[in-house]
Amino acid sequence: MIAFIPPSGEATPSYASTMTINVGSNVPASDYIITIKGIGADGKEHICKYILTVIQKPVAHSQTPPPSVEAYMVYGDIGIATGDMWVWSGADRGLEAPNLVDGSYLSKDAPEGNKCFAITSGSGQGNYIGWGVFLGIFKNQKLITPHTVDLSDYENLQFWVKTPVNLKVEIQENNAEGVKSSPCIISNYGWNKNLPDAWQMVTIPKSSFRNVDLTTISCPFMITGNGSRVTFYIDEVMWVP
């Protein structure tokens, strides 16, 4: 479509017109030769040619956003991630056995629901106690089929703790005999020793777990405390994006 502005006029005084060319969206891309002829009031004709180049506009393809990563629950009121829960203590070295190991301990002030993991080491110098979640299919506490989880898309390991002692957190790759990460001490990640009777959230960045391949983790959480008759509570352990 071609339109002139102004559409008409007189020869005296002289005037100028603006020609606007509108191209439809369905016009094929190509070069088009347009002949423009003007006739003056005195009857004279003036002709010029104009080359109109139509370029096809690239089609914008909408990019599908990557699927959002949901939090990976390791331990909570619903239980643990697929696998088994193992406990270690000074009893492995001949010291007194743990006084308490309860993965469904009822607690009125638990941060999530009404249950948490409660554990108490045995007495004696050099005693310790810990637990972790190991992925796979187990029978009689023996690993039959190992499983792993890819934690590379997650940013932090997050959990609640109530404890009077500084605890060590690790993860492990491949299987029960796999490589352990560098240990992370909870006092470096939000735990305050002056609040031993309060629930506190600990957040550990994935970058703190060094020396392991985050794409093949068989134990996404293990925690250990040292001391005689030491009790600590853990709740809502998860990896968050």
**pLDDT tens-place string over residues 208-218:** 999 999 999 99
pLDDT tier, 78 (very low <50, low <70, confident <90, very high otherwise):
confident
How confident is the model at residue 142, as a pLDDT?
Answer: 77
Between 210 and 177, residue with greater pLDDT: 210
Q: Residues 40-60: what's their mean pLDDT?
A: 65
Provide the total of helices (H) and of strands (E) in the chain, helices listed first: 0, 17
Contact 221, 157 (CB under 8 A): yes
Cα–Cα distance, 145 to 136 (Å, whole number): 5
Cα–Cα distance, 55 to 107 (Å, whole number): 70
How confident is the model at residue 50, as a pLDDT?
Answer: 62
Handedness of CA 128, 133, 138, 142 (dihedral sign): negative
Lowest mean pLDDT: which of 7-16, 32-41, 218-227?
A: 7-16
How confident is the model at residue 182, as a pLDDT?
Answer: 96
pLDDT tens-place string over residues 111-160: 999 999 999 999 999 999 999 999 988 787 777 888 999 999 999 999 99
How confident is the model at residue 129, as a pLDDT?
Answer: 97
Cα–Cα distance, 29 to 216 (Å, whole number): 52
Q: Residues 52-75: what's their mean pLDDT?
A: 68
Domains of the chain with CATH codes: 2-54 (no CATH), 72-240 (2.60.120.430)
Give the distance from CA 96 to its chain's centroid: 41
pLDDT tier, 17 (very low <50, low <70, confident <90, very high otherwise):
low
DSSP per-residue codes, 150-188: --TT--EEEEEEE-SS--EEEEEESSTTSPBPPPEEGGG
* Tokens coding 64: 């599908």
How confident is the model at residue 44, as a pLDDT?
Answer: 72
Angstrom CA distances, 102 to 87, 158, 191, stand at 11, 21, 22
What pTM, to 2 d.p., does this model score? 0.70
Give the distance from CA 224 to its chain's centroid: 26
- Examine the pLDDT at 185 and tell me if it is beyond 80: yes
